[in-house]
Structure 1
Amino acid sequence: MSGNSNRIKSKLSAIFKRYVNGEASAEEERFVERFYQQVGDQKENADINFDHLEQEIKQTIDNQISSKNKVIKLSYSPYIRLAACLLLVCTAVFVIFRMSGSDSSSKSLQTTGIAKENPILSIGAEKSYPLDEEVQDSSAYRIIDDQKVFLLSALAEEIADDAPRKITNPTKKVFTFLLDDGSQVWLNAHSSIEFMSSFNKTERMVHVSGEVSLDVAKREQDGKPMPFFVKTPLQTVEVLGTQFSMNTQEAGEESVVLLEGKIRLKHNKYNTSVVLTPNQKAFLSPSNNRILVASADENNKVRAWRKGLFYFEGEQVADVMKELAQWYEQPIQVDQTVQELPITGMISRYEQLMDVLEIMEMTNNITFVEKKGVIYVTAND
């Protein structure tokens, strides 16, 4: 490798390191955010070892979401591949940095000024509290796996009440918190979880809606394992200590993905049940008494959305666009010629859909056009 490429690699590494540590200058932050727009002008650096640099960058991406070092492969021009890889690193780092940044100034618990962009804790029908680091005391948060995790136990004295608790996430950001038993919960957009004030005292039962992921802590009661139950309209899940994700967003269907451990599913309507082992996915519907089980290695995908990222691995364009259309609530039409084209990669869940599509356009043989509020996906001729 030439001295020139070594200097470029060293400089990029230093900028990214300062960015992650919160030490980057305003100019360096702008560079990280806009780097992919500038790479195309750097073609004179043709002696850079793109494959080696790309491999290291992609390794960094995967290390952010999983201990499994599965390589993300991108294709086409090496300059475009490099730009896309660097951008994906930047966006992943940016999300994680925002979650683990400096603590906000201390503020007491407030019940006023609840905004739509804040997750909300409701106590019965009378009390509501915004769960946001700009409102709550910084001591109510803990850093776990590079994420800021809210501690419900920090509010124990101020919300002492026998009324049911409900946490709702109306935002487009993943909200994660610890229940009183130490179990960690991730609420995706427009998702919620409910539980009684007796949680972790006489029972461990929660009701969930939307897309929710849980890392259940093991607990004992009277010398015996204390079960943990998760209920939805269609199913009841019993666990003793495991990681899994549930999705009730699809109309007429619910699904569960098991990451670790073992869980038992019971269909609430038909009383049929199955036991899931890791890397299995179950599907339930109100019109079918069978619980369908399929193999599904979705560990990286689940862990990615916990971090606020999209993760696609060999997924068809049609399926990818369906997920994006649902997330951004914007219609997307995919041309038949590209519906089965596989897409692999990871990217931040930007506020604007077009930001995501522009990056995907860089690394895939597809293009996007917006007409009258509808996104049309076609082949890039």
Structure 2
Amino acid sequence: MASSLEYLLNRYADKTCTPEEKEELMRQLQEGGNDEAMQQVIDKMIEERPAIHSMPDATAQAVLQAIFEADEAPVVPLETGRLRKISFGRIATTAVVLLLVTVAGWLLVTRTSNKQVATLTTNGDVAPGGNKALLTLSNRSTIVLDNAANGVVAHEGNAAVIKLKNGELKYTTADDQPANSSVEIAFNTLSTPKGGEYTVVLPDGTQVWLNAASSITYPTVFDAKERKVQITGEAYFEVAKLLSADGRKRVPFVVDILPATGRGTVGGRIEVLGTHFNVNAYNDEKAIKTTLLEGKVKVTKDEASAILKPGEQVSISHPDSYRDRSSHLSQPIPVQTDAVMAWKNGVFHFENADIKTVMRQLSRWYDVEVVYRRNPDTDDPLFFEVSRHTNLSDVLKVLNLAGGARYSIENKKIIVQ
């Protein structure tokens, strides 16, 4: 039973469960029958998942209490002796594993009831963001891509700009090869609004995913010696390898990080040969963060530089004040890339996050304001994962499980109280 339960729990947490496996998991949890084996499996799972293991007891207790209050017969039956044997917070974190890994991000885990865990006051729900972007051509004309038909939307030099059906923009020449350097270089800008995201395949084959309220400016033809782009907001890159004309050298790929206005002092520079990395450069975040997933990059700020290895992140702090315009480059540190890449993978994923961090992401994706009617700094950190493709009300239901602050929607505003 232990090996079967461990397999099913991990499949469920990783969202790879088949319907039959999910049904079998729920059956085993309902039946119990071997508390010691179940406890060992649960303890092992919690130890192997740091975000669950480090959840504050107060948060875990509030979640478990909500589950108990929703139905008289919870999935995991708890005997008095067992309560003494395992801490309340650790049992609660087990419930969180089941509660927070569904597609919608929340699931009422009960024996017979589908009753709602927490009430949520809404005055007009908010749909999730989607494929929305504005393309600015070299002649400064613009195309609203979410309204444009699929197919060729423009020509720039010898490159055709094609809108694909899956929310992707692609630059190709007649023979589907990257444009060559003999053509006059012009620049395009792809920008997403709040509540938007988009993907672009650049002339060299590099693929870029743009998060909400972000932009990328790039040439329609790359220079033979250097490929350079500029970004604001957040973007994930899968850089194509490109050799020089003689085939002896790789053509470097350079990303300049700009303020949200798209103008002003470069916030940092990333030099790449061929790699996968993410850049978060929103002005309202505490720092510009570059995270490497594959390959090798060099991040430079003024005279300082750092070379990243896969799984590492480096930060460039924003100036502390208007007078202090200096910023600093940190040393590389190891990070959990799941949280960094969550947006690109279609989920919100938070580990030990404060309320303001969570609200900034929700504000950008749902294009809403956030109103604080209490001091959020006193609340426990948040641990949860939820699909970005669900309505805002479903996300707030998950947050309301954590206790502390309460969340509601009023006329495209999130109220934190």
Do they superpose with TM above 0.5?
yes
Q: Does 1:128 align with 2:135?
A: no
* Alignment equivalent of 1:255, drawn from 258, 280, 289: 289
Once the two structures are superposed, the pairs formed by residues 1-381 of structure 1 within 5 Å of their partners are 13-14=18-19, 47=30, 73=52, 75-76=63-64, 77=67, 81=96, 82=98, 84-88=100-104, 118-132=132-146, 135-137=149-151, 149-153=168-172, 162-170=185-193, 172-199=195-222, 201-221=224-244, 222=246, 223-232=248-257, 233-251=266-284, 253-267=287-301, 270-278=302-310, 279-285=312-318, 287-288=325-326, 290-293=328-331, 295-327=333-365, 328-333=367-372, 335-336=374-375, 339-349=378-388, 352-362=391-401, 366-369=405-408, 375-377=414-416
Residues 150, 162 of structure 2: 8 Å contact kept: yes
Q: CA deviation at 1:195?
A: 1.4
Residues 104, 394 of structure 2: 8 Å contact kept: no
SS of corresponding position for 1:211: strand
SS of corresponding position for 2:395: helix
Q: Which amino acid in the other structure matches residue 339 of structure 1?
A: T
Q: CA deviation at 1:355?
A: 3.1
Cα distance in 2 for residues equivalent to 1:128 and 1:376: 35
When residues 263 and 44 of structure 1 are mapped into structure 2, their CA distance, relative to the original with a 3 A threshold, is closer
Gaps of 5+ in 1: 18-42, 60-68, 92-115
Q: Which amino acid in the other structure matches residue 47 of structure 1?
A: Q
1:96 match: none
Cα distance in 2 for residues equivalent to 1:140 and 1:48: 55
Cα distance in 2 for residues equivalent to 1:231 and 1:337: 34
Q: Which amino acid in the other structure matches residue 228 of structure 1?
A: F
Cα distance in 1 for residues equivalent to 2:403 and 2:377: 10
When residues 355 and 169 of structure 1 are mapped into structure 2, their CA distance, relative to the original with a 3 A threshold, is same
Q: CA deviation at 1:225?
A: 1.6
Q: CA deviation at 1:239?
A: 0.8
If the length of structure 2 is used for normalisation, what is the TM-score?
0.58
Q: Which amino acid in the other structure matches residue 383 of structure 2?
A: T
**Greater relative contact order (CA < 8 Å, ≥ 6 in sequence):** 2
Q: Which amino acid in the other structure matches residue 85 of structure 1?
A: V
Q: Which amino acid in the other structure matches residue 193 of structure 1?
A: I
Cα distance in 2 for residues equivalent to 1:185 and 1:283: 21
Q: Which amino acid in the other structure matches residue 269 of structure 2?
A: T
Cα distance in 2 for residues equivalent to 1:333 and 1:198: 47
Name the count of aligned residue pairs.
Answer: 302
* Offset from partner CA, 1:297-346 (integer Å, 9 cap, x none): 14112321012321101223343234434544412427458734132221
The RMSD of aligned alpha carbons is: 4.6
Structure (1 or 2) with the larger CA radius of gyration: 2
Cα distance in 2 for residues equivalent to 1:334 and 1:262: 45
Q: Which amino acid in the other structure matches residue 271 of structure 2?
A: E
Q: CA deviation at 1:261?
A: 2.5
When residues 162 and 264 of structure 1 are mapped into structure 2, their CA distance, relative to the original with a 3 A threshold, is closer
Q: CA deviation at 1:200?
A: 6.0
When residues 264 and 162 of structure 1 are mapped into structure 2, their CA distance, relative to the original with a 3 A threshold, is closer
* Offset from partner CA, 1:251-297 (integer Å, 9 cap, x none): 58533222233222222xx3332223332222143522531235251
Cα distance in 1 for residues equivalent to 2:223 and 2:31: 56
SS of corresponding position for 1:180: coil
Gaps of 5+ in 2: 2-7, 53-59, 68-73, 76-94, 108-129, 153-160, 258-265, 320-324
Q: Which amino acid in the other structure matches residue 256 of structure 1?
A: T
* Offset from partner CA, 1:327-377 (integer Å, 9 cap, x none): 444124274587341322211235753331113224556532457876454
* Offset from partner CA, 1:36-64 (integer Å, 9 cap, x none): xxxxxxx9998366x99xx99xx9xxxxx
When residues 341 and 90 of structure 1 are mapped into structure 2, their CA distance, relative to the original with a 3 A threshold, is closer
If the length of structure 1 is used for normalisation, what is the TM-score?
0.62
Q: CA deviation at 1:228?
A: 0.5
